[in-house]
């Protein structure tokens, strides 16, 4: 396992991060603990979660159960010191958490206390804002994105009061570092500018979707994080399981995410399958596991801090973890780039 300094923080994170959003619905408490133990045995040192998890499916009744799975492992194992915990506060409009209240000093404080209790810990290593109050173009919203409703003064005032709250929580020893999620290049730059202007906590990470099939991060955000010393935590590096190779237009394994979400969050359409077939062909011709190739490729990206993996079975997890040892040849990398030019935005 390779490790990388997370932005300007003092956290050295494994370049593969264990995702947790299936724990509490698709995976039991015992299965979640088993996954954590296997990941740590392979050198993983960070677990990513969120107060709104599990996501498969999302519900008010299960909200917070994933963090409680982690808490059960912490209590049973006594290994809190062996792992970094990253969690997130839910943003505006998500009705299952605080009836959709936006991120504010008040909601952050409530969320942090709840997460600390759920995860049976005194501190959170990385605390992330799950999505901006003003909205986001992530999750296929880029096709109709319109920021003209935004009020710049309100946005900047919100950032300032949030950073003041984060400073307070850091001073109390409850949070070590801070990050963004589903954020834009402009938004990220404003968070940094605000922290520098007022000597407040600096965002060290951004968690956005990134995979062979979703590469919006490659341009403006790539430039932003390079110049501002921020690390990407890539979610859905397997494109919600599409890059595992288990799906076809007429194939949906029982119990899979697609069996619970038919479109996989808007990823499935007529443009997807030719792109997926092209990447599968590269893997097959070079004797590679498609899943491992997809993860290993994300680890080659210069802005990558950690690629967030997830699995519902131990066999799946072991396969994915094997990507840490895979080095892709120049020929494979060239074919991946050529395929990207042919299929730049399949969803």
Please state the three-class secondary structure of 174-195 as a single string.
Answer: CEEEEEEECCCHHHHHHHHHHH
Res 66: pLDDT: 98
- Global pTM reads 0.96
- Does 205 score more than 90 pLDDT? yes
- Does 56 score more than 90 pLDDT? no
Res 260: pLDDT: 86
The distance of Cα 163 from the centroid of its chain, to the nearest Å, equals: 21
Say how far apart CA 123 and CA 83 lie, in whole Å.
12
Instruction: State the pLDDT confidence band at 194, using cuts at 50, 70 and 90.
Output: very high
End-to-end CA distance of the chain: 31
Give the tens place of pLDDT for each residue, 2-34: 999 999 999 999 999 999 999 999 999 999 999
> Cα torsion at 30, 33, 37, 38 (round to 10°)?
70
Options 53, 127, 279, 347, the catalytic residue: 53
- Does 174 score more than 90 pLDDT? yes
Is position 137 annotated as part of the catalytic site? Answer: no
Instruction: For residue 130, give the nearest of 93, 185, 160 by alpha carbon.
Output: 93
Give the tens place of pLDDT for each residue, 217-258: 999 999 999 999 999 999 999 999 999 989 999 899 988 889
For residue 2, give the DSSP letter: -
């Amino acid at each position: 396992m390779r490790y990388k300094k997370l932005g300007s923080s003092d956290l050295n994170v494994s370049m593969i991060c264990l995702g947790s959003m299936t724990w509490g619905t698709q995976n039991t408490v015992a299965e979640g603990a088993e996954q954590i133990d296997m990941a740590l045995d392979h050198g993983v040192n960070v677990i990513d979660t969120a107060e709104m998890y599990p996501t498969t499916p999302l519900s008010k009744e299960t909200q917070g159960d994933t963090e409680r799975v982690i808490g059960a492992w912490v209590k049973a194992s006594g290994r809190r010191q062996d792992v970094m915990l990253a969690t997130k506060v839910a943003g505006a409009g998500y009705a299952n958490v605080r009836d959709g209240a936006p991120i504010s000093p008040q909601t952050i404080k409530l969320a942090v206390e709840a997460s600390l209790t759920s995860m049976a810990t005194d501190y959170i290593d990385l605390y992330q804002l799950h999505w901006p109050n003003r909205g986001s173009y992530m999750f296929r919203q880029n096709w109709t994105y319109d920021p003209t409703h935004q009020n710049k003064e309100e946005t900047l005032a919100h950032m300032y009061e949030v950073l003041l709250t984060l400073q307070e929580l850091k001073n109390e020893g409850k949070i070590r570092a801070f990050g963004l999620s589903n954020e834009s290049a402009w938004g990220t730059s404003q968070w940094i500018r605000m922290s520098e202007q007022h000597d407040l906590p600096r965002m060290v990470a951004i968690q956005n979707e990134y995979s062979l099939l979703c590469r919006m991060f490659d341009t403006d955000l790539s430039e932003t994080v390079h110049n501002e010393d921020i690390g990407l935590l890539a979610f859905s590096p397997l494109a919600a399981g599409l890059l595992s190779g288990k799906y076809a237009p007429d194939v949906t394994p029982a119990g899979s995410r697609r069996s619970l979400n038919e479109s996989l969050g808007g990823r499935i359409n007529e443009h997807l399958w030719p792109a997926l077939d092209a990447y599968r062909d590269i893997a097959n011709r070079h004797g590679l596991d498609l899943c491992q190739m997809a993860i290993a490729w994300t680890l080659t990206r210069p802005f990558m801090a950690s690629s967030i993996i997830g699995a519902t079975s131990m066999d799946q997890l072991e396969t994915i973890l094997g990507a840490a040892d895979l080095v892709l040849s120049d020929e494979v990398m060239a074919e991946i780039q050529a395929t990207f030019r042919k299929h730049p935005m399949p969803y």
